[in-house]
């Protein structure tokens, strides 16, 4: 089992270009696994963790409803936003400046074969990261992602998650709101959930801006501890 994970910092990158890049890495891992089984080999498969910040974009998962996008094509142009139907689970979400987006492209057979555990570890990574800022974050039963004040009228989501997995290889991932313009969430029904709000780390801390590099460093630290993996940069 290869527990080394290559970290790739993509900076600010178009959503579609990043999706294509993910698909390429994903397919190479899948192809290696198919070849291993066909030829009865045990050549190692690669693992990657991508960090990126996207321009304004709305993405709709396989189980989502287009009615949860509240903008038409002309309004999207006015907002300087794009829209894609994509192949992850979940409903609609927003990505944009000030958001730390992470895409783990892992062969889970290098770690464990349990998608439920995989999602819970991603949530735990975010919960532990936010705890370092003095914020008590938690899970909301039946709703993937990370939330604040669950079970109260003030429940609000700070991190969305949606993944795809095939042959135990993952893609897509998580989006943590750090310095996000939350007005862009007004144009969708986030994750198809109508009665809950969305928040961002800078708002919770009462700061104009939180250092994104510090947030990513904390996320990486907890990610590698939880997955008991070795980082390659």
Per-residue pLDDT of the chain (233 residues; tens, 9 = 90+): 899 999 999 999 999 999 999 999 999 999 999 999 999 999 999 999 999 999 999 999 887 888 889 999 999 999 999 999 998 887 889 999 999 999 999 999 999 999 999 999 999 999 999 999 999 999 999 888 999 999 999 999 999 999 999 999 999 999 999 999 999 999 988 655 555 799 999 999 999 999 999 999 999 999 999 999 999 98
Global pTM value: 0.95
Asked whether residue 51 is marked as a ligand-binding residue, the answer is no
Instruction: Determine which one of 52, 105, 191, 198 is catalytic.
Output: 191
Residue 121: alpha-carbon gap to chain centroid? 12
* In contact, 212 and 201? CB cutoff 8 Å: no
Asked whether residue 175 is marked as a ligand-binding residue, the answer is yes
User: Domain of 211?
Assistant: 4-232
Catalytic annotation present for 159:
no
* In contact, 30 and 169? CB cutoff 8 Å: yes
Asked whether residue 152 is marked as a ligand-binding residue, the answer is no
Asked whether residue 174 is marked as a ligand-binding residue, the answer is yes
Instruction: State how many domains the chain has.
Output: 1
Residue 112: alpha-carbon gap to chain centroid? 19
What is the CATH classification number for the domain harbouring 49? 3.30.930.10
List, in sequence order, every residue forming a beta bridge with 180; answer none if it has no partner: none
């Amino acid at each position: 089992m290869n527990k080394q994970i290559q970290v790739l910092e993509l900076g600010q990158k178009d959503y579609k270009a990043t999706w294509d890049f993910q698909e390429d890495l994903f397919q190479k891992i899948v192809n290696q696994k198919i070849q291993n089984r066909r030829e009865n080999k045990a050549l190692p498969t690669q693992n990657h963790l991508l960090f990126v910040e996207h321009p304004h974009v709305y993405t709709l998962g396989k189980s989502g409803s287009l009615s949860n996008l509240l903008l038409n094509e002309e309004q999207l142009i006015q907002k300087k936003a794009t829209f894609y139907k994509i192949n992850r689970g979940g409903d609609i979400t927003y990505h944009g400046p000030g958001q730390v987006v992470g895409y783990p492209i892992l062969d889970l057979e290098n770690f464990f074969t349990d998608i439920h555990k995989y999602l819970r570890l991603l949530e735990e990574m975010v919960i532990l990261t936010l705890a370092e800022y003095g914020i008590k974050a938690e899970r909301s039963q039946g709703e993937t992602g990370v939330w604040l004040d669950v079970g109260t009228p003030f429940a609000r989501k700070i991190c969305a998650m949606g993944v795809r997995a095939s042959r135990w290889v993952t893609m897509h991932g998580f989006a943590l709101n750090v310095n996000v313009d939350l007005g862009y969430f007004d144009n969708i029904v986030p994750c198809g959930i109508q009665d809950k709000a969305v928040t961002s780390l800078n708002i919770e801390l009462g700061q104009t801006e939180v250092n994104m590099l510090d947030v990513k460093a904390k996320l990486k630290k907890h990610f590698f501890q939880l997955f008991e993996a070795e980082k390659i940069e």
